[in-house]
Amino acid sequence: MGWFAGKPCRIVYRSEYMTSIHAQDNHQTFDVMKFKKIRDQLVKERLVRRRQILAPEFLSEEDMLLVHQKSYLESLKNPLLVGQALALDYVNPWDNYIMEYFRYVAGGTTLAVEYALEHRTTVFNLGGGYHHAHPDRAEGFCLINDVAIAIEKVRKKQRVEKILVIDLDYHQGNGTMLIYRDDPGVFTFSIHASNWATLESPTNVDLELPSHVQDAVYLAALKENLPPVFERFDPDLLIYLAGGDPFILDSLGDFDITEAGMLERDMFVYQQACRRKLPLAVVAGGGYGPESWRVYYNFIKAVLRGRCK
Ligand SMILES: [Zn+2]
């Protein structure tokens, strides 16, 4: 089962990840069944046993305060303001199910990071990667920055000094990048379509690629630019946003990366972790349309089958 001897990879998921199903009308391109589909398929193929799946806790307010401003978190207690922040046409003013969903999934990212670190293995959260969220505001369908919260939580316990965030979602990880702009302990690496923000920082690499970029150019950008970051920064922990939206069949992104190219990308990142025996927490990031689930599924399946060389 993947990874180095005796350290099985794990999956993080719980049924509350499905509560966003109510928001389906507003985000039709996002397959709300995607993560359940991945879980079910992994179980069906006996790659994962149900009892081995890690179930996250509901993220506490105290944890959210590690990254977000109190006044902003207060506003998120009002479902109408949550609806506004996400530009939803309709929300039930009496039911804050959207925020509940975010808090369970963000709890999942924290669990994935903590477990990966503690057991020195690879852990996949079947969701997460809200990389546009800022300390004081939502952006791009991201309410809370789960990756930054997870980072702050493990740092608080003084368990890790240098963290590398590799963000290969089609969109720039601008929220995470700005949160850590002056922080020498967190390096942010992102390959994406267009810049949402620009930054001069010794601990940030941002690569913008053109529309309809194909496998060869995309993979070369990754393979040339990522390994030097490991040499320069020498991280203790990796967090990987394996966004599925550079995929050619994605209904939102306009990159032309094939299914094989997406798997090559993901396995390249995984192999960097393997080679250096680094704990790796993976979050899903974006990925839209009915074919999107396969991208993350292919990656998890390859890791579970132990294809690390
Ligand atoms: Zn995206």
* Residue 123 dihedral angles phi and psi, to the nearest 5°: -130, 135
Q: What is the pLDDT of residue 2?
A: 45
* Residue 84 dihedral angles phi and psi, to the nearest 5°: -65, -45
C-beta pairs of 155-163 under 8 Å, 24+ apart in sequence: 155/185, 156/66, 159/117, 160/117, 160/236, 160/237, 161/185, 161/236, 162/186, 162/187, 162/233, 162/234, 162/235, 162/236, 162/237, 163/187, 163/235, 163/236, 163/237, 163/238, 163/239
Confidence of residue 22 (pLDDT cuts 50, 70, 90): low
Tell me how far the alpha carbon of residue 298 lies from the centroid of ligand 1, in angstroms: 18
What are the structural domains, with CATH classification, of the chain? 10-304 (3.40.800.20)
| Rounded-to-integer distance, Cα 29 and Cα 164, Å | 30
Interval 169-196 mean pLDDT: 96
Q: What is the pLDDT of residue 199?
A: 86
Tell me how far the alpha carbon of residue 194 lies from the centroid of ligand 1, in angstroms: 11
3-state secondary structure 138-196: CECCECCCHHHHHHHHHHHCCCCCCEEEEECCCCCCHHHHHHCCCCCCEEEEEEECCCC
**DSSP one-letter code for 247:** B
Task: Give the whole-number percent of the chain exceeding pLDDT 90.
Answer: 81
Q: Which residue has the tokens 């057991």?
A: 119
Tell me how far the alpha carbon of residue 7 lies from the centroid of ligand 1, in angstroms: 30
Tell me how far the alpha carbon of residue 174 lies from the centroid of ligand 1, in angstroms: 11
Is residue 40 scored above 60 in pLDDT?
A: yes
Tell me how far the alpha carbon of residue 172 lies from the centroid of ligand 1, in angstroms: 8
Tell me how far the alpha carbon of residue 8 lies from the centroid of ligand 1, in angstroms: 29
In terms of pLDDT, which residue wins out, 269 or 84?
A: 269
Q: What is the pLDDT of residue 189?
A: 98
* pLDDT tens digits along 201-236: 999 999 999 999 999 999 999 999 999 999 999 999
Tell me how far the alpha carbon of residue 54 lies from the centroid of ligand 1, in angstroms: 25
* Residue 33 dihedral angles phi and psi, to the nearest 5°: -90, -5
* pLDDT tens digits along 44-70: 999 999 999 999 999 999 999 999 999
Tell me how far the alpha carbon of residue 157 lies from the centroid of ligand 1, in angstroms: 30
Q: Which residue has the tokens 């670190």?
A: 117
Tell me how far the alpha carbon of residue 4 lies from the centroid of ligand 1, in angstroms: 31
| Rounded-to-integer distance, Cα 93 and Cα 300, Å | 37
Confidence of residue 309 (pLDDT cuts 50, 70, 90): very low
Q: What is the pLDDT of residue 21?
A: 52
Q: How far apart are the first and last CA of the chain?
A: 13
Tell me how far the alpha carbon of residue 89 lies from the centroid of ligand 1, in angstroms: 21
Sheet holding 280-283, edge to edge: 10-12, 122-125, 280-283, 237-241, 163-167, 186-192, 204-208
Tell me how far the alpha carbon of residue 140 lies from the centroid of ligand 1, in angstroms: 9
Average per-residue pLDDT for the chain: 92
Tell me how far the alpha carbon of residue 170 lies from the centroid of ligand 1, in angstroms: 5
Is residue 104 scored above 60 in pLDDT?
A: yes
Is residue 6 scored above 50 in pLDDT?
A: no
| Rounded-to-integer distance, Cα 39 and Cα 51, Å | 12
**Which residues are CB-contacts of 192 (< 8 A; sequence separation ≥ 6)?**
167, 169, 170, 171, 172, 173, 206, 207, 208, 209
Tell me how far the alpha carbon of residue 109 lies from the centroid of ligand 1, in angstroms: 17
Q: Which residue has the tokens 């790796």?
A: 280
Q: What is the pLDDT of residue 138?
A: 95
Confidence of residue 5 (pLDDT cuts 50, 70, 90): very low
Confidence of residue 33 (pLDDT cuts 50, 70, 90): confident
**Which residues are CB-contacts of 15 (< 8 A; sequence separation ≥ 6)?**
none
